[in-house]
């Protein structure tokens, strides 16, 4: 299973890259929304872990672009952010995100459960 991790923070990139690889996921990293969209158009991932606050193109813009493309809007997106503000999560879900993971807690098990959940309801 291929996961695209869209994250501009090198620490989170490394941590989640290795943790997900340990669980036998294939992981690609995009450091902003521009890279994410380039990647998605070349190789559609099974799940996108999407940070919201990034340079160049943020997570909200990525969600809007995915939703506008019939081939891409089916990809399950988990919003992956340190923001615990309800408004941002609600906005992201309105734009098509399936669920929300708070990356600052390093609750890796709950991330795995959410990945499995979006895959089974894909």
14-32 pLDDT, tens digit per residue, is: 999 999 999 999 999 999 9
pLDDT the model gives residue 83: 65
From CA 34, how far away is CA 65, in angstroms rounded? Answer: 11
For the chain, which residues make up each domain, given as ranges?
Answer: 2-120
User: In the CATH hierarchy, which top-level class contains the domain 2-120?
Assistant: alpha beta
From CA 97, how far away is CA 17, in angstroms rounded? Answer: 21
Q: Which two tokens stand for residue 48?
A: 């996108």
pTM: 0.93
Residue 56: band (very low, low, confident or very high) from pLDDT cuts 50, 70, 90: very high
Share of the chain above pLDDT 90, in %: 76
Q: Is the pLDDT of residue 105 over 90?
A: no
- Closest to 6 (Cα-Cα) out of 52, 72, 66: 52
pLDDT the model gives residue 92: 95
**Mean pLDDT of the region 88-100:** 93
**Mean pLDDT of the region 53-65:** 95
**Mean pLDDT of the region 93-106:** 87
SS (H, E, C) 27-77: EEEECCHHHHHHHHHHCCCCEEEECCCCCCCCHHHHHHHHHHCCCCCCCCE
Q: Is the pLDDT of residue 48 over 90?
A: yes
Q: Is the pLDDT of residue 97 over 90?
A: yes
pLDDT the model gives residue 87: 87
């Amino acid at each position: 299973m291929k996961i695209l991790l869209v994250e501009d923070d090198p620490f989170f990139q490394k941590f989640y890259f290795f943790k997900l690889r340990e669980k036998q996921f294939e992981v690609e990293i995009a450091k902003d929304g521009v890279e994410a969209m380039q990647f998605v158009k070349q190789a559609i991932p099974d799940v996108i872990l999407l940070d919201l606050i990034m340079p160049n193109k943020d997570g909200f813009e990525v969600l809007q672009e995915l939703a506008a493309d019939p081939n891409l809007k089916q990809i399950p997106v988990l919003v992956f952010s340190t923001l615990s503000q309800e408004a941002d999560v609600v906005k992201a879900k309105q734009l098509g995100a399936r669920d929300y993971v708070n990356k600052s807690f390093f609750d890796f098990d709950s991330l795995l459960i959410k990945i499995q959940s979006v895959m089974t309801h894909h």
